[in-house]
Amino acid sequence: MRTRLADHVTAIIFLLGCATGLSASDNAGHQDPATTTVKVCAFHAVDECYDDYAGMGRQAGIGTTVTLYVNHPGGRLLKFNDEASTITTFEDDKGKVLLRVAPYDIPRLIFGHSSPTTISRDGHSAVIDLKARDTPTKGAHEISIEGTLVFKEASKTRTVSKHGFSLESGKETTIGHIRVKIDSVRRVKERGGDPHLDWGRTQVYVDLLTEGQDPDSIESVRLVDAKGQTLSQPRGEGYHRRNQKVTGTFTLLVPDGVRSGKLEIAYWADMRQLEVPVALTVTAGL
């Protein structure tokens, strides 16, 4: 039975400390020296009448969202893997499986529907939204959640560099074990819009392609001068996959007139998969 807005007030309810501490290990059998814990920090149930009422200006979507806070004192969390992560149980204490929505009856859970997964700057915590497509049964008091959250984590960084790196479109070189190619060098006359750029100044964007190192493990790419001062500013990164080969893409903004410098690439040398088991009960407060 679907809950109605008249029956239950839709709200975000903070539920700190209602989950048990859970240890984590990666798929290679590595045991983290610290304990990774997961707890619920918010619960949000949205009924169809709430979602359809345009006057409220809401785009939350029908369903139940539970926001988890992951605390990881060990290595640094680099990325949340939503494809490898699984939630096997998401149901209320009346037996209703919130992952299944009629008429399709197909289990479905969305990670980060209302907001993207956020990893803290120090890499020791993350906030993850779990969104089921249905709402709890009227009169339900608890929601049980079980599954596994998968991250990429690391603790050791290394840096490789190349002196006299010329900013020429099409240039290819190898820096340590990483292959680097300048895909393009673009000179753009800015017309405002970026408060960090002077009005009308010509900016140079250098698009780099990297191979031989997982893009997720690359911490930074920068161009420095002879004194070690940073010349570049990061302006975007990503990757594309073709025939099992992954190529990293990095864009640097450099001052007009700079023709070369030392290119430095810092990467996480021990990146591995971290699996965090989840088994908790949320007091829905309905």
Bigger pLDDT: 197 or 118? 118
Pick the CATH number of 37-155+272-283 from 3.30.70, 3.90.550, 1.10.3210, 2.60.40: 2.60.40
| C-alpha to C-alpha distance for 206 and 185, rounded to whole angstroms | 5
Task: Give percent of the chain with pLDDT exceeding 70.
Answer: 72
- The pLDDT score that the predictor gives to residue 26 is 36
Place of tokens 């309810």: 13
Mean pLDDT, residues 213-222: 95
- The pLDDT score that the predictor gives to residue 230 is 96
The residues, ordered by sequence, that sit 6+ positions from 91 with a Cβ below 8 Å of its Cβ are 97, 98, 99, 143, 144
Contact 248, 237 (CB under 8 A): yes
C-alpha pair distances (Å), 50 with each of 61, 109, 120: 9, 20, 32
Q: Does the structure show a pLDDT above 60 at 6?
A: no
Q: Does the structure show a pLDDT above 60 at 130?
A: yes
Torsions phi, psi of 62, nearest 5?
-70, 140
Q: So where are the chain's domains?
A: 37-155+272-283, 157-268
List, for residues 233-246, the tens digit of each pLDDT value: 999 999 888 887 89
Contact 223, 254 (CB under 8 A): yes
Tell me how far the alpha carbon of residue 239 is from its chain's centroid: 14
| C-alpha to C-alpha distance for 192 and 196, rounded to whole angstroms | 9
- The pLDDT score that the predictor gives to residue 225 is 95
Q: Does the structure show a pLDDT above 90 at 29?
A: no
- The pLDDT score that the predictor gives to residue 202 is 81
Mean pLDDT, residues 106-132: 74
Domains 37-155+272-283 and 157-268 share a fold: yes
- The pLDDT score that the predictor gives to residue 30 is 45
Q: Does the structure show a pLDDT above 80 at 205?
A: yes
Tell me how far the alpha carbon of residue 183 is from its chain's centroid: 26
* Average pLDDT in the chain: 78
Contact 221, 253 (CB under 8 A): no
| C-alpha to C-alpha distance for 144 and 149, rounded to whole angstroms | 16
Contact 239, 231 (CB under 8 A): no
List, for residues 52-75, the tens digit of each pLDDT value: 444 444 445 678 888 899 999 988
Domain 157-268 CATH assignment equals 2.40.160: no
- The pLDDT score that the predictor gives to residue 229 is 95
| Tokens encoding 29 | 């059998």
| C-alpha to C-alpha distance for 248 and 245, rounded to whole angstroms | 10
List, for residues 237-274, the tens digit of each pLDDT value: 998 888 878 999 999 999 999 999 999 999 999 999 99
Q: In this structure, which amino acid lies at residue 222?
A: R
| C-alpha to C-alpha distance for 71 and 41, rounded to whole angstroms | 12
- The pLDDT score that the predictor gives to residue 219 is 95
List, for residues 146-177, the tens digit of each pLDDT value: 999 999 999 999 999 999 999 999 999 999 99
